[in-house]
Structure 1
Amino acid sequence: MVISERDNATSRFEKCCLHDLMRELCMSKAKEENFLSPSAHPQSLSVSQRFFTHDPYTLDVEREINNSKVRSLVVVQKVVLPNSWMFARNWKLSSIIFTRLQLLRILHVYKAEFEGRKLPDSIGKLIHLRYLNIEAAGVSHLPASLRNLKLLIYLNLNVNNSFTFVPNVLMEMIGLRYLILPETMNMKTKLELSQLVKLETSENFSTVLQFRGSPWYGQIEDPCGLGRLENLTVDYYGAKGRQEWIILDFNNLRELSLSIKIMLSAQLQFPSRITRLSLEFCSLVEDPMPVLEKLSQLKFVTLGSHSFLGRRMVCSAGGFPQLQKLELFGLVELEEWIIEEGSMPVLHTLQIDGCKKLNKLPDGLQLITSLKKLTLRVMGNQWNERLSEGGEDYYKVQHIPSVSV
């Protein structure tokens, strides 16, 4: 009845979908009970415990939701064109929902906007909440009453505002497993997360601990107690001046994405179990491969824009024993790439994009017999001829079933 899919990097079940027959049965039953479109039958709202709408601009909570026993309120926006949700305008949401619907377990209000751009203190009355999502909401200030939401499992605070104030109360949500913080937080924000012992995924992890005039200084340390953290994303754009960043032992971390300046040395210790790694804007001067290829569990690696500023990169024999996919994006200074025999023995996908100074593919590419797909982008028209049959580099790629330029 339910088809599940595992994530290639973590081997955990990440997605599921209904079998077609089961989906049709569910849709039919939902229509009978007005589950998907309650506004079509206002009478049903007095008994329905779930409210869903994809037209927030006409939503009137005070008029439309009269049942105080509503458990689920989900407001999304209809997508007409691809990525059109990015340009949708905010919509007004009355704070009355927090006083009227105190039995809510699920609250999802994408791009909502509250009076004064402040999330009302009364949200603290929703003590039964397990899921709270205010992504892209027009909010600049979050209240301390959030500490009352002790049963939360999922919390998305990635609101649409520069320098959002987040009170230091999240540590009291000891059941949290999924946490997304605002991309930019107020200077006064300093969060303690050490008590979130069940946390598995954290995005937009705070990197700014203090401001010392100019430049910025920051440090990432392993907060004691985050032993179950498996997915961590750290972004810090627009930084200037000298920065030193440290990652300490997140023992169970599987996926790590860094968009900050770092130093690849003894001061930077990647977790040994990591399977997926993405680096961007790291401004590395030294070749990162000697460090990364020793991470024996790595399956997916992305070196993004300005992650590496050097001219030469070497993948040595025996390195990356489990690497399946490698992406090189925007390494604008890279001129020479060497792949030694025995490196990346199970690699099946390679993508190179925007590496404009890389004038030839490494000879060692022909030794990776597992390679199934090669994609080259923004590297000049001459590559079509060089990689075509009879071309000077054809011998390097002739064993690859799919080559796209």
Structure 2
Amino acid sequence: MLDVHLRLFCERLKRVLAGEEGALTLPDSTNLTPLFKNLLTESEIIATTLLGNYESDMARLLFQLVKERFDEYKLSLPFSQLLQAEESDEEDVKRADVLEILNDINDFVHESEEAIDTFFIKIMQQQNGENESESSTKMAFLVGLHSKIIDIRNRIQQLPPGDNGFDISEQSNKIIRLLSEGQPQLDISEFERGREKLFDLLIEGPSGLAVVAILDSNGFDKTAFAADTYNNNHVKFYFDCLAWVRVSVAYDFRMILDDIIKSVMPPSGVSVIIGEDYQLKKTILRDFLAKKKYFIVLDDVCDNIEIWDDLEEVLPDNQNGSRVLILVTDPELLTSLEMENGEEIRLDSVLIEGPLIRLKHEAWQFFILHYGSAPSENYMNEKINLTVFSRTCSVWELPFYLKVCCIYLCVFRPGIEISTAQLCQLWIAEGLIPYNSEETAEFYLKELIHRGFIQVSKRRANGTIKACYVPSFEFISIYLVADKTEFVRMSDMKEEPLANVKRYLILDRLIKFFPPEYSDMYIQSFLNHSSRSDHLALIDCENFCKKFKYLRVLNLGSAVLDQFPPGLENLYFLKYLKLNIPSLKCLPLLLCTLLNLQTLEMPSSYIDQSPEDIWMMQKLTHLNFGSITLPAPPKNYSSSLKNLIFISALNPSSCTPDILGRLPSVRTLRISGDLSYYQSGVSKSLCELHKLECLKLVNESKPSRMVLSEYQFPPSLIQLSLSNTELMEDPMPILENLPRLRVLKLKQNSYLGRKLACVGSGGFPELKVLHLKSMYWLDEWTMGGGTMPKLESLIVNPCAYLRKLPEELWCIKSLRKLDLHWPQTELRQRLRTFEDMEWRQNWRGKQHQPDFQFQFPENCNLLPTVFGEISNAIQIHRNEPR
């Protein structure tokens, strides 16, 4: 793992020789191709052959470097004896020599990368009209690299033979045994009693606001335990609003506040509230919850004592039985509390009693639910540290292609929701994915999920993974490796930035990064994950672009810019760019000089005008804007954006055969704007997209005159979503003929009629998911026999006027989920008898029971009766754990 930079450098040299690195291939006039080939040959010999003999030595070195981090914080490691094996002085000297050579290799890679980057920049500047430099001057940037790599190779060959006595897998197994030795497993009866106690606390506990903390013990998964209660039907009926929020080791209450707001408040107002001032948001949330009985779960809470004061500011106590459930990762968090008798909580006493301990925190009633007999101090020094170190070993054991993708995860905050699409794009931009293949990136993602380094937080309607997150323990383990290999550096770490760190991460405030002392850093990736919307001055942006001219990845996150940053057009290597420029209306011409750009993210920008030169950006794969208008291709230009696969959101004015016909690879397309005015162009041009799989149509005009029957959808379409289209004609007879359609979402104001009729026999042959949302006046729905034979999930929200569901639905054996919101009395009466239906009998005895869900209005008088009569298999749909 300590040779990670060299191995990635080898992959980059291969791309250079294949003409995939930089906008230009190597000029023949420079005679540099043989030099690059020699560099690649020598680098591969060192990386795959010579250093391969010292894998055990490098593993032990990394093991010891990570252990030193624990020593810095004076954390005892009960497995330290694993590293205490006696070694000869000769072994110590050899290992020191290996470490010195590895440091020299990293210096060599750093120098080589900078020289190659400088070389390509000179070529690109020459093409852009700058003064031509002499060929000898260009080659001067690369002189001496070959001799240096030869010298490193000779030094490695002079080392004594490697030591194969250190096995990471063996050490990992020993740590796992230490984790389980002498620790009693939680009995299932204890689990059930604990669930009853927690349930009683939530439903029948004190009338005032009560906080319950759940801690780990061996054999006890606190998250699964809490989720079991959170998803209980009685709990969902009892509380007016629920929220499940991850906190994690990187505590940021601004993000926690936003997540609570998104979970408990109506979606229609969330987008406005999120953009408000931090203090105002706290006031808005408190006022909203003042009239609610709420239940909030905070998962993965570490030693963030300030959380108590932060929560008191936004969570009112109205003596109505509201509850907060906190899943504690680090028990030191509880040392700020007191026992009921006033005794202070100590790390050596918190966990001795159980399962239920009463505490107090000022005006709040506080409880701890825990099973175990070990004092908290032991818990921290043994369970937590052993777990972290065990997972660190798991990182080392990964094959290299997964290892680099895994340690890259630490560029995100622990616990933060990560878009899987964004993650895959970043992996590709960083050169971690062979052949820039998104399919390969998705495979790596699934592998890391399978191995437990990533948790899934959201899935799309079709079941694919939409978002994920890295739990705190996994993040700490991953970051320990990333830090010691100089793979990434965080801005808020105390150490000075390291010379060879190529990736820099902002977690606090971006504005603090701009002092001149950072000017000598050679970085290839800069990512701002601060939750603060800092306003950046143009002079700072211009200086930033001058200092860091070798960037491949630039994500300025939520930082607000007034205009396109001056000098950004000189970042020739840029592959991934994300900016927040709400006022930008015209895409600057200079942006089109970034010919290596693959992903362009400006979701807050609504572009009315784009330059023709955008058609020169042949490597673009993803365009993500609030809205973007593409120009017609120049008349003398016959090429296309052949690699573009994702566009959101395209203005309907750009939906012409000439434009869409130049986008042969687009698979996902969102069109947003006046669909009525551009009806003719949009409806007849979509068929030009022969690979289109996902289409979203959002109308933004009033009144709408969209006519769906005029649309010519490509047969490749798999997912279709309509919003605000205000259709007057029944869309089902038109859409049921799409041969590959699997997901259909008819969202708010998509159809204004009262009747839906799926009349064709065998219509919707592949449909698996059907969402009917905000079709307020729908009162009749009919289906023909054999329609939707593969339907798995049906959501109708609301169904206030729908008198009955089609009887043909009960014949669909694949149906697993039926989610009805606010059904009227007549439909409720029909649903009460569903257990007596013949189709229900067909399910008995099967392993996977269908998941039927209903939701009723809060003021419904029939609620207790209906709940008592409907089967326990029916679930009330609210906010699920995220």
Same fold (TM over 0.5): yes
| CA displacement 1:305-346 (0-9 Å, x = unmatched) | 121122221223211111111110111232211111111111
Aligned equivalent of 2:688: 249
* Higher normalized helix content (fraction of residues): 2
SS in 1 for 2:496: helix
Equivalent residue for 1:283, pick from 723, 726, 741:
726
Per the TM alignment, residue 38 of structure 1 is displaced from its structure 2 partner at its CA by 4.0
Per the TM alignment, residue 41 of structure 1 is displaced from its structure 2 partner at its CA by 3.9
Equivalent residue for 1:37, pick from 483, 487, 490:
490
Equivalent residue for 1:28, pick from 480, 504, 515:
480
**Pair 154,258 (structure 1): closer, same or farther in 2 beyond 3 Å:** same
**Pair 26,318 (structure 1): closer, same or farther in 2 beyond 3 Å:** same
Is 2:800 the counterpart of 1:356?
yes
Structure 2 CA distance for aligned equivalents of residues 153 and 133 of structure 1? 11
Per the TM alignment, residue 50 of structure 1 is displaced from its structure 2 partner at its CA by 1.3
Structure 1 CA distance for aligned equivalents of residues 500 and 583 of structure 2? 31
| Superposition CA RMSD, Å | 3.3
Equivalent residue for 1:388, pick from 832, 839, 860:
832
**Pair 354,241 (structure 1): closer, same or farther in 2 beyond 3 Å:** farther
Is 2:538 the counterpart of 1:99?
no
Aligned equivalent of 1:132: 577
SS in 2 for 1:204: strand
SS in 1 for 2:604: coil
- Size of the aligned set, in residue pairs, is 374
Is 2:593 the counterpart of 1:148?
yes
Structure 2 CA distance for aligned equivalents of residues 168 and 77 of structure 1? 35
Q: Given residue 50 of structure 1, which amino acid in structure 2 is its aligned partner?
A: R
Equivalent residue for 1:272, pick from 709, 715, 720:
715
Aligned equivalent of 2:662: 225
Aligned equivalent of 1:83: none
| CA displacement 1:55-103 (0-9 Å, x = unmatched) | 235433234532352100000134xxxxxxxxx5343252111111110
Is 2:513 the counterpart of 1:66?
no
Equivalent residue for 1:109, pick from 556, 562, 569:
556
* Structure 1: tracts of 5 or more residues without a match: 79-87, 210-217
Q: Which residues of 2 match residues 184-195 of structure 1 at below 5 A?
A: 190=631, 192=633, 195=640
Aligned equivalent of 1:213: none
SS in 1 for 2:756: strand
Aligned equivalent of 1:174: 618
Does the CA-based 8 Å contact 1:256-1:278 persist in structure 2?
yes
Does the CA-based 8 Å contact 1:294-1:319 persist in structure 2?
yes
Q: Which residues of 2 match residues 233-382 of structure 1 at below 5 A?
A: 233-236=670-673, 243-244=679-680, 245-246=682-683, 247-260=686-699, 262-265=706-709, 267-315=710-758, 316-380=760-824
| CA displacement 1:169-204 (0-9 Å, x = unmatched) | 32121111111133377xxx7464972111111110
Q: Please say which of residues 64-73 and 93-102 is displaced more in the overlay.
A: 64-73
**Pair 304,20 (structure 1): closer, same or farther in 2 beyond 3 Å:** closer
**Pair 141,294 (structure 1): closer, same or farther in 2 beyond 3 Å:** closer
Per the TM alignment, residue 168 of structure 1 is displaced from its structure 2 partner at its CA by 3.9
Does the CA-based 8 Å contact 2:596-2:619 persist in structure 1?
yes
Query: TM-score by structure 2 length?
Result: 0.39
Does the CA-based 8 Å contact 1:334-1:355 persist in structure 2?
yes
Per the TM alignment, residue 372 of structure 1 is displaced from its structure 2 partner at its CA by 1.0
Structure 2 CA distance for aligned equivalents of residues 352 and 131 of structure 1? 39
Is 2:851 the counterpart of 1:402?
yes
Structure 2 CA distance for aligned equivalents of residues 42 and 165 of structure 1? 45
**Pair 311,382 (structure 1): closer, same or farther in 2 beyond 3 Å:** closer
Per the TM alignment, residue 388 of structure 1 is displaced from its structure 2 partner at its CA by 2.0
Query: TM-score by structure 1 length?
Result: 0.81
Does the CA-based 8 Å contact 2:487-2:502 persist in structure 1?
no
Structure 1 CA distance for aligned equivalents of residues 768 and 643 of structure 2? 30
Structure 2 CA distance for aligned equivalents of residues 191 and 110 of structure 1? 31
Structure 2 CA distance for aligned equivalents of residues 21 and 241 of structure 1? 49
Does the CA-based 8 Å contact 1:47-1:67 persist in structure 2?
no
SS in 1 for 2:505: strand
Does the CA-based 8 Å contact 1:118-1:142 persist in structure 2?
no
* Structure 2: tracts of 5 or more residues without a match: 1-397, 407-419, 422-437, 455-473, 844-848, 855-882
- The share of aligned pairs that are identical, in percent, is 24
Per the TM alignment, residue 297 of structure 1 is displaced from its structure 2 partner at its CA by 0.7
Structure 2 CA distance for aligned equivalents of residues 232 and 221 of structure 1? 16
Q: Given residue 98 of structure 1, which amino acid in structure 2 is its aligned partner?
A: C
Structure 1 CA distance for aligned equivalents of residues 546 and 626 of structure 2? 25
